[in-house]
Chains A and B, each alone.
Chain A
Amino acid sequence: MPNSTNLFIKITYFVLSVCTVHNVMAEVIHSERSLYRNIIVEDKGDLRCLKFNVKSNKTRQSCLLKSQPQQLVFNYTKQLLTGLLINPEPKRILIIGLGGGTMSNTLHKLLPDSYIDNVEIDHSVIKVARQYFGFLENDRIKTYSQDGRVFVKRALLKKQEYDWIILDAFNGDYIPEHLMTKEYLEETKRLLSPNGILTANTFSSSKLYRYESATYKAVFGDFYQVSNDNNSNRIILARNNGVDGKHNSANTVKLINGLLAIGVDAKQLLNSMKSTAMHQDWPDDSPVLTDQFSPANLLNIDTD
């Protein structure tokens, strides 16, 4: 009897100490309230994360390992790089939704000659990216503090073109409604060069999934989906000239080595790509989101 009491005390002590250590480890090093959201930068040992919401882990926007800032922490950021397997040498890249700026940094390392335009609505996020995430800007990497939709429309007027557009704009919950509609995707498609590609980071576990999928298909035709079983992100990879279009073979040694250096296995990446022409995992009659009908974030509330 005393023995088991002793054991109980030991276990309790152990559990408590683990919890305490855990709490000590997560340290908020910066927090501010911007015009749009609460921004929190949190250190947990070697891991530094940008969060837009205190409560849940789901809202981590961007993370990096302080000792190895080049390594990509999130699966979805690795999966976004499938774009390079289709279009290995994009000269002009547009990233909508900055986060910590890790995607921009990674792409600059992989493609030092490419021009990268970052668009971020929240000026505070840009400041935090510069200050805490080593977000790099130079004569090839530019940042615009603007709404993504407005930037795209203005870029079209200036007859600009991009070889790769990355849609990664999130607010606290999900993608803003006006950045999910058919009209918006048509605008981004018109901004692509003839062989241009578009990758979008989306969630795969909500009612919105089929609406979103149907909307992409309505604009781009069939596309590639990249996802793992163990995460809730799905990357949409769409091409201006369709899935069957000619593509540059991506087996250049340089690219594969470059990807390996940042912890990305090109072969595994290639295997995780599935064309919706072969396998469509949403019903055909799913409604398309438009500027007229886009209750996106209301649909997102009810997860299946």
Chain B
Amino acid sequence: MQTANNPVNFCNLYIYFLAFTSGFSIMCIELLAGRILAPFFGSSVHIWGSIITVFMLSLSFGYLLGGKFSTHSASLNRYGAIFIIAGLTLLPIVTSSVWLMESIFLAVEDSRYGSLLASTALFFIPTIILGMLSPYSVRLLVKNSNESGQVAGKLYFVSTLGSAIGTIITSFYLVLWFDINTIVMSVSMVLSLLGVITIAVAKMNTSFYKAKLQRDISHA
């Protein structure tokens, strides 16, 4: 009984760690968004208005979608896939942000709507995907309805703590040490890598349990 529980707890810890990373990534990108938009849309107060609006909106959709997605055969495999997709959807920020912002700048004279459009184009989709991770984590962690509130509470704690740390680390240090593109690229790579590791862990888990099951059967 005791031995059967231990690997499960370890797996939970890993999921909490992943939720922390997604919180970290969201705020790291949101903070850089101000820098990314400034050359085309300035640093007026409405730039932050646009950015925060887009991030909040896409997070809300992400929560909804992630919750919905978790109702059909939720697995560590799919959870890992979300991480990989999140990492990939961040890439256009590095590769195409300049021409995207340039064309929006040319098309829209008012920098309020220009910045709103640009932050939608750049950050809407990756933030939706990152937002999906929170409810999906809850689904993977909750084993019975009695503990669901506590699990959700712990998860909010961990992912919001990640957001706080992502904000301070990025604004205090990362921008001092690295190019914006380097930071975004690293976040993208870390997310994708964690996704791959998660899928690998899921594969190992199933083969482990298969082996264990076979052993138990043969013992019996």
Known contacts A150-B111, A298-B172; can you find 9 more A-B pairs with CB under 8 A? Answer: A147-B44, A149-B38, A184-B39, A291-B38, A293-B178, A294-B35, A294-B175, A295-B175, A298-B176
Tell yes or no: B1 within 8 A of A by CB.
no
Tell yes or no: B61 within 8 A of A by CB.
no
B contacts, CB < 8 Å to A:
35, 38-45, 105-106, 109, 111, 172, 175-176, 178-181
Once bound together, how far apart are the Cα atoms of A258 and B211, in whole Å?
94
A177: contacting residue among B38, B106, B172, CB under 8 A:
B38
Q: Are A150 and B41 in contact (CB under 8 A)?
A: yes
Q: Are A147 and B180 in contact (CB under 8 A)?
A: no
A contacts, CB < 8 Å to B:
35-36, 121, 146-150, 153-154, 157, 176-178, 181, 183-184, 290-295, 298-299
Question: Nearest CB to that of B38 among chain A residues?
Answer: A178
| B41: A residues at CB distance < 8 A | 147, 150
Question: Nearest CB to that of B114 among chain A residues?
Answer: A150
Q: Are A292 and B179 in contact (CB under 8 A)?
A: yes
| A148: B residues at CB distance < 8 A | 42
Chain A CB count within 10 A is highest, among B41, B43, B106, for B43
A146: contacting residue among B42, B105, B106, B180, CB under 8 A:
B42
CB of B123 to closest CB in A, whole Å: 17
Q: Are B43 and A178 in contact (CB under 8 A)?
A: yes
Q: Are B176 and A295 in contact (CB under 8 A)?
A: yes
B42: contacting residue among A35, A147, A181, A183, CB under 8 A:
A147
Q: A153-B105, A293-B180, A298-B176 are in contact. Are A147 and B45 (CB under 8 A)?
A: no
CB of B185 to closest CB in A, whole Å: 11
| A149: B residues at CB distance < 8 A | 38-40, 42-43
Q: Which 3 A-B pairs have the closest CB atoms?
A: A147-B42, A178-B38, A292-B179
Q: Are A293 and B179 in contact (CB under 8 A)?
A: yes
Q: Are B106 and A157 in contact (CB under 8 A)?
A: yes
Q: Are B179 and A121 in contact (CB under 8 A)?
A: no
| B43: A residues at CB distance < 8 A | 121, 147, 149, 176-178
| B105: A residues at CB distance < 8 A | 153
Q: Are B176 and A35 in contact (CB under 8 A)?
A: no
